[in-house]
Amino acid sequence: MALSVGNTSNANKEKRIHGNCLGDSYSILSNSTTSTKNSICGDSSGSVVYITSSFTSSGGSVDYLYKSVNKGSNWSALTNAGQLTWTKVACSSNGSVIYATYYKSGSNIKKSTDGGSSWSTISLGLLNVSINKLACSSDGNMIYLAFYSGTTTLSAGPLYYSEDAGSSWTNSGVASHYYNSLVCPKSGRYAYLTYDGVSGTPTLENRIIKTTNWGASWGTVQYTNNFNVISANAGDSGLDGQNVIGITTGGTVIKSVNEGTSFSPISGAPEGDYYGGFSVSQDGARLLYMGKDSLTTGPMFNSSVDGGNTWVSKYKANGADNISTRAVYVPENNSSFGIISPAYVWSNGTVSNSYPYLYKTNYI
């Protein structure tokens, strides 16, 4: 497919790949909840999707977790989980096992093994912490939890993992960091985290840390040229997570096929000043993420269906202007759609109000 570049003015920026492509158009899922969405996950086919609702920068109001069984067309509240200020959600590849965290939950996690019909609470018993990032393996048995230290003033925190669906927990021994992203593809043998470092100090700038043995040991990924990776995910070509795709703070999309030992930029990928949610399919072919040229230029929804060789970029999709993002979801084994969950509307560099809509992109 040929790549053509349209009008590049701020008012109507657009890059388009001609043809029926993921990301060529976006529709608002009008039946989704009215609260702001902060996290999204789903089963491997995309038929079952879960979202957290109600989270805002100041904590927000309480609401339910929500579930869709028809690829986001309709949603129902998981009332048995309770009304809380939900923050993160992760689930198994069949959608049955769910883990969810909520605002000021300390080290407590909500868990369901029946698709949200009933819930229990897992507690790590840690004091003066708040859960930052959450991920689980495809069977739901391996869980990784990255924490903040503190409950009001948040700072760098520890990393824990469980190999038995939350029955017992192990401190990874990794030094405390302020984690930006966490991914645990497939079996959970591999996990990758990005964290804030010290800008201007190459050996301490933002890095990726990884495990290749279910959390037993951890190493730092040394990406050349000291790019500050802020988002990372792993594609799977039958290799359980050795393929890694990330986005640097400068907006460069980078890829590794050797467990992060070396990275190279993906040629032709869109770039911008800020990037939020990011997701990639198991085979590494379909990528979907959102960024902005600046806080006042508006959103840039970016997608690729060929591993990043060619891209579709849509600016101000459906008139939505100046929105940041919290979550992006691409089903592992379904190439037909993806979902973006914007979080806030920005005005002159500040949050003006929450943005409750979900955007869905399909092959058209």
Query: Structural domain boundaries of the chain?
Result: 12-362
User: Tokens 């990528």 map to which residue?
Assistant: 287
User: What was the pLDDT predicted at 317?
Assistant: 44
What's the mean pLDDT in 106-126? 95
Token pair for 5: 């570049």
d(CA 29, CA 134): 25
Please compute the mean of the pLDDT values over residues 240-260 and round it to a whole number.
76
pLDDT band at 362 (very low <50, low <70, confident <90, very high): confident
| Owner of token pair 């708040």 | 130
Residue 81, SS3 per DSSP: helix
Residue 37, CA distances (Å) to 59, 94, 357 in order: 12, 22, 8
Residue 115 · residue 93 · CB < 8 Å: no
Say whether pLDDT at 56 is over 60. Answer: no
Mean pLDDT for 77-98 is 92
In whole angstroms, what is the distance from residue 82 CA to residue 183 CA?
Answer: 27
Q: CATH classification of 12-362 is 3.30.950.10, yes or no?
A: no
Highest mean pLDDT among 139-143, 174-178, 217-221: 139-143
Handedness of CA 121, 122, 123, 129 (dihedral sign): negative
Max avg pLDDT among 57-61, 93-97, 304-308, 346-350: 93-97
Q: How many residues does the chain have?
A: 364
The answer to whether the CB of 40 falls within 8 A of the CB of 328 is yes
